[in-house]
């Protein structure tokens, strides 16, 4: 057993999991509190990356790119809620899906028109670009930065949701929306803030991944499906559930990519194992979701009192 490799892969899995968490946190709140299916949540992930890249290139500072990008995506999120989503909360899920799918096309085409088809490379500042060495363990420093940022956001959300008045309303909204409304809470403002906050977190995830994979059109559409799976496994509306489910998914995906082919070689030819392993590891997350839906349809950590 190569322990260095195992530790590296565990950290890689945690890093992927935390990125998924950033996406899923907003998604689960919007889904849980407003009962709104937002397929275009991945578009916030994409425009976050493009905003950050543009600001970083103009100002020469990656950090400024992140801050400006987050503010920018927050505004776009608020705008989408105010102009479009707000009018749809009372219609059924099919309308949500249709409208937000249309939004995806609009966002993708806008990005194509503004930034072109070729995608955008975002260079890392030199102090983030190095390697972190501990004994014989060597990791890209930036991956650790993503882990740190993800944990920081998780802690921030924990405090926000469990210690503040806004968080109390969010929790109440996730458990029983009608009651919150009946108690005279300004539900419009609450929804606006939650929607924009969710968009901002998705945007942050996009900014963090872009220096690794580049920003590209449709980058959010690839990952949003997995984020939905995270939401379902974690329990709709539950931040805590999204956190654990995202970590489980990240680890499952990374570890299966690393070790599944070796395991499968034990009982089939190397050729088959090499081809089948990546296909199976891509499927594993869905198999897990099916299992959760079969045995615990409300998810692993549903919000208290949710039906």
Partner 1 sequence: MLAKTIRTALFASALTVSSLAHAESVKIGFITTLTTPAAVIGEDMKNSVELALEHLDHKMGGRDVELIMEDDGFKPDVGKQKADKLVKQDNVDFVAGFIWSHVLLASANSVLKADKFLISANAGPSKIAGKRCHKNFFSTSWQNDQTPMAMGEHLNKQGVQSLYIMAPNYAAGKDMVAGVEKTFNGEVKGKDLTKWGADAQLDFSAELAKARSSGADALFVFYPGKAGGAFIKQYQQAGLRDEMPLYTVFTVDSIGLPKFQQGKLEGVLGSKMTQQWSPDMDNPANQKFVADYLKKHDKYPSFYGAQAYDSIMLIASAVKAVGGKLDDQDAVRAALKAADFASVRGKYTYGNNHMPIQNFYLREVVADADGRWTTKIVDTVYENHQDPYAADCTM
Any idea how long the chain is? 307
Residue 64's CB is within 10 A of a number of other CB atoms, namely 14
Q: Is 160 in the site for partner 1 (CB under 8 A)?
A: no
CA distances to 10, 169, 250, 271 from 265, rounded to whole Å, are 22, 52, 23, 9
Min. distance of Cβ 101 from partner 1 in angstroms? Answer: 16
Structure tokens at 54: 């543009």
Structure tokens at 56: 């970083």
**Span from 5-13, 60-68, 163-171, 292-300 in contact with partner 1 (CB under 8 A):** 5-13
Q: Measuring CA to CA, which residue among 225, 192, 221 is closest to residue 206?
A: 221
Q: Which of 192, 221, 234, 236 binds partner 1 (CB under 8 A)?
A: 221
Residue closer to partner 1, measured from CB, 117 or 178 = 117
**Span from 6-14, 71-79, 80-88, 93-101 in contact with partner 1 (CB under 8 A):** 6-14
- CA 224 – CA 32 distance, rounded (Å): 16
**Span from 27-35, 122-130, 166-174, 284-292 in contact with partner 1 (CB under 8 A):** 122-130
For partner 1 (CB under 8 A), the number of binding residues is 45
Q: Is 142 in the site for partner 1 (CB under 8 A)?
A: yes
Site string for partner 1, 167-206 (x = CB under 8 A): ----------------------------------------
Alpha-helical segments (H) within 176-303: 177-182, 187-213, 219-234, 239-264, 270-295
Q: Is 69 in the site for partner 1 (CB under 8 A)?
A: no
Q: Which of 92, 95, 181, 222 binds partner 1 (CB under 8 A)?
A: 222
Residue closer to partner 1, measured from CB, 181 or 274 = 274
- CA 104 – CA 109 distance, rounded (Å): 8
- CA 263 – CA 80 distance, rounded (Å): 47
Q: Is 122 in the site for partner 1 (CB under 8 A)?
A: yes
CA angle 136, 140, 143 (to 5 degrees): 125
Q: Is 61 in the site for partner 1 (CB under 8 A)?
A: no
């Amino acid at each position: 057993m190569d322990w260095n490799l195992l530790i590296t892969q565990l950290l890689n899995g945690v890093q992927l999991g935390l990125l998924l968490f950033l996406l899923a946190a907003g998604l689960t709140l919007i889904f849980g509190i407003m009962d709104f299916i937002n397929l275009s949540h991945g578009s916030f992930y994409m425009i976050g990356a493009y905003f950050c890249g543009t600001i970083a290139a103009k100002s020469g500072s990656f950090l400024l790119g992140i801050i400006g990008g987050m503010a920018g995506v927050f505004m776009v999120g608020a705008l989408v809620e105010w102009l479009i989503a707000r009018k749809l909360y009372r219609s059924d899920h099919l309308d949500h899906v249709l409208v937000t799918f249309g939004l995806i096309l609009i966002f993708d085409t806008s990005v194509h028109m503004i930034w072109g088809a070729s995608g955008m490379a975002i260079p890392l500042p030199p102090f983030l670009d190095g390697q972190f060495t501990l004994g014989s363990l060597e990791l890209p420093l930036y991956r650790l930065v993503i882990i740190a940022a993800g944990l920081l956001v998780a802690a921030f959300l924990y405090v926000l949701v469990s210690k503040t008045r806004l968080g109390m309303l969010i929790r109440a909204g996730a458990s029983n929306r009608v009651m919150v409304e009946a108690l005279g809470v300004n539900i419009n403002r609450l929804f606006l803030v939650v929607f924009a906050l969710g968009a901002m977190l998705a945007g942050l995830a996009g900014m963090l991944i872009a220096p690794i994979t580049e920003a590209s059109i449709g980058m959010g559409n690839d990952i949003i499906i997995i984020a939905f799976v995270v939401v379902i496994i974690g329990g709709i509306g539950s931040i805590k559930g999204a956190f654990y489910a995202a970590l489980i998914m990240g680890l499952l995906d990374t570890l299966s990519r690393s070790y599944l082919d070796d395991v499968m070689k034990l009982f089939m030819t190397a050729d088959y194992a090499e081809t089948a392993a990546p296909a199976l590891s891509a499927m594993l997350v869905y198999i897990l979701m099916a299992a959760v839906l079969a045995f615990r349809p409300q998810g692993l950590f549903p919000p208290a009192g949710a039906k």
